[in-house]
Structure 1
Amino acid sequence: MTKVTMTVNGKSVSKEVSGNTLMTEFLRDELHLTGTHVGCDTSQCGACVIHVDGVSVKACSMFAAEADGAEVGTIEGQANADGSLNVIQQAFQDHHGLQCGFCTPGMVMTAASLLKENPRPTEHEIRDYLEGNICRCTGYHNIVKAIMAASGQDVSGIAAE
């Protein structure tokens, strides 16, 4: 067992974990932050995207011990301080960027990273950035529209699909 200490969504946490504990397990089972979804366990789908020291990481491909000392952000930490949806989450709701919702936490976390790097991405740049995130329901059109709206771009001329 190894003791890990990290800051998760602004709160310091310390826990004993085995060396093979994945971040998905640590977040979901130890910290009860179940918004980080486990879709494939092979780093293919992107449902488990979190931020570690400001970088998007697929939590199923990282051991909890690797995050010792890190700043970790999960979907639960994305909301505004008053608990309301942040601009990205609200755009996903407003523009129907989700259906079943399983991929949504990973999509929102990936979108947050993209908008941090590129505040006004084009449709092509968004689609390219989302390459590591799989959605089986939406066809991505409304996800892309939601991210463009979250960036402050006018999407009124984009037809819904």
Structure 2
Amino acid sequence: MTQAGITLVNPQLSRRRFIKAVIASSVASASYTGLQSANAQDSSSGVVERLISLNINGRTRRVDVLPQETLAYTLRYKLGLTGTKLACNRGDCGACTVIVDGITRYSCSTLTHSVRSLEVQTVEGLQSADGTLHPVQQAFIDELSPQCGFCTPGQIMSTVALLNENPTPTREEARQALSGNLCRCGAYDHYLNGVMRASGQNS
């Protein structure tokens, strides 16, 4: 209905139905805008997987990776090496720690492409071919270091890197070396006891 050139709302349309119609149209518009934005981002970034070779635990592994893909994601979800844990996913907790060319790295903040020519070692690569555990792994078991165990692979990798560089660290040196690995269970002393045992010193 019009009056003096102004279109009026249909008097038969209830307030409830009018509000429902407005909300529905807003949701549809927002969904369409979001979809357009996502599609534009994908097309503009030209996201394409590339086949690369990685040296993982002494073996050459060929895998398709995205330019922005992190090493933690590649290890876990493409190579099946789930000992590397994803927790904070922002380089804060150390659960994803691996050793790259002898140095510990947070794999959640390391791009897979950046380690193509480097040697990557994960917790799965510590065990001997006959199934014997690495001395650090065994020491952590003997000292009852893990509680929930989620942070343990990262704690192990940090300890292995430490002992490779310093076979007989002091307890304080061990504490510093593991300071980048958080344990929500609070089992820090047990992990330090494990480091001391693995280094042949009394815990």
If the TM-score is normalised by the length of the shorter chain, which range does it land in?
over 0.9
For the pair 1:152 / 2:200, whether they are aligned, the reply is: yes
Hey, what does 1:134 align to over in structure 2?
A: 182
Structure with higher RCO (Cα < 8 A, 6+ apart): 1
Matched residue, 1:114: 162
Q: How does the TM-score come out when normalised to structure 2? A: 0.74
Identity %: 41
Specify which structure has the higher proportion of helix. Answer: 2
TM-score (norm 1): 0.93
Residue in 1 that maps onto 2:63:
15
Distance in 2 of aligned mates of 1:39 and 1:95 = 24
Tell me the CA shift for residue 123 of structure 1. 0.9
Contact kept, 8 Å, 1:75 with 1:105, in 2: the verdict is yes
Where 1:50 maps in the other structure, the secondary structure is: strand
Contact map agreement 2:90 2:108 (CA 8 A) in 1:
yes
Q: Do 1:42 and 1:61's aligned partners in 2 also have CA atoms closer than 8 Å?
A: yes
Q: Is the Cα contact below 8 Å between 1:4 and 1:17 reproduced in 2?
A: yes
AA partner of residue 183 (structure 2): C
RMSD: 1.0
Counterpart of 2:107? 59
Structure 1 residue ranges, 4+ long, deviating more than 4 angstroms after superposition: none
In the TM superposition, residue 55 of structure 1 has moved relative to its aligned partner by 1.2
Structure 1's unaligned 5+ residue stretches are: 156-161
Shift of 1:81: 2.1
Partner in structure 1 of residue 122 of structure 2: 74
Match of 1:83 among 131, 142, 155: 131
Report Cα offsets for 1:66-116 as digits up to 9, x if no partner: 111221100000112211211000000000111100000000000001101
Counterpart selection for 1:95 from 143, 163, 176: 143
Q: Distance in 2 between matches of 1:69 and 1:14?
A: 13
What is the alpha-carbon distance in structure 2 between the residues aligned to residue 13 and residue 116 of structure 1?
A: 25
Aligned positions, number: 155
Larger Rg: 2
Segment of structure 1 superposing worse, 2-11 or 72-81: 2-11
Inter-partner Cα distance in structure 1 for 2:57 and 2:166: 23
